[in-house]
Amino acid sequence: MGTYLSLFRAINVGGNAQVKMAALTEVHEALGLSNIATYLQTGNVVFDSKEIDPHQLTEQITTEFEKRFGFHTEVMLRTQAELKEVFANNPFINQPEKETKWVVVMFLSDTPDEQAQHNFSSAFSGLEELHLSGKELYIYYPNGIGTSKLINAVIEKKLKVTGTGRNWNTVTKLAEIMQR
């Protein structure tokens, strides 16, 4: 039995693609997943599963979601061990001058290839600080997220992978929930 985290992309943002957390719980229950907990309204679901193949789990959750709600969204799945790595690889963790609400982890669907990484880093010219580690892009937004031109669509286009971002406070809370 493993503990996993489903991170749904682009639901309940700006009044679009509204899905209640109870409905996301039902999606997971329908797949026989257990010990389900949600956090916030942005599509964060912690659960246990006997299935050990994360790709298979992701496919099952994505398919069930689309069947129930009639539209497709990407799901980034992380194991408990992978979430521990997110903490270990965060370059901003021991920098108290950086407000945690402006530190974002962009959970990517896959590790971007070297060419995409090069294209992304050479095209970037903002004030944000970036650190890519495998399937996670860590971003510090010194002037806040709302004023930045570094948005998900830009990141996804340059890195050629999909992703969904969570601020560090949310990531910390999700890790606590996974420790239950």
Kindly list the distances between the CA atom of residue 47 and the CA atoms of 120, 143, 154, 178, in Å, as whole numbers in the listed order.
Answer: 33, 35, 31, 8
What are the structural domain ranges in the chain?
2-82, 83-178
Can you tell me the distance from the alpha carbon of 152 to that of 64, in angstroms, rounded to the nearest whole number? Answer: 25
Torsion angle of the four alpha carbons 165, 171, 174, 176, in this order, in degrees rounded to the nearest 10: 170
Name which CATH class applies to 2-82: alpha beta
Does the model's pTM come out above 0.75? yes
3-class SS of residue 113: coil
- Residue 3 β-bridge partners: 48
**What are the pLDDT tens digits along the chain (180 aa)?**
899 999 999 776 655 677 888 999 999 999 999 999 999 887 899 999 998 889 999 999 999 999 999 989 999 999 999 999 999 999 999 899 999 999 999 999 999 999 999 989 888 888 999 999 999 999 999 999 888 989 888 999 999 999 999 999 999 999 999 997
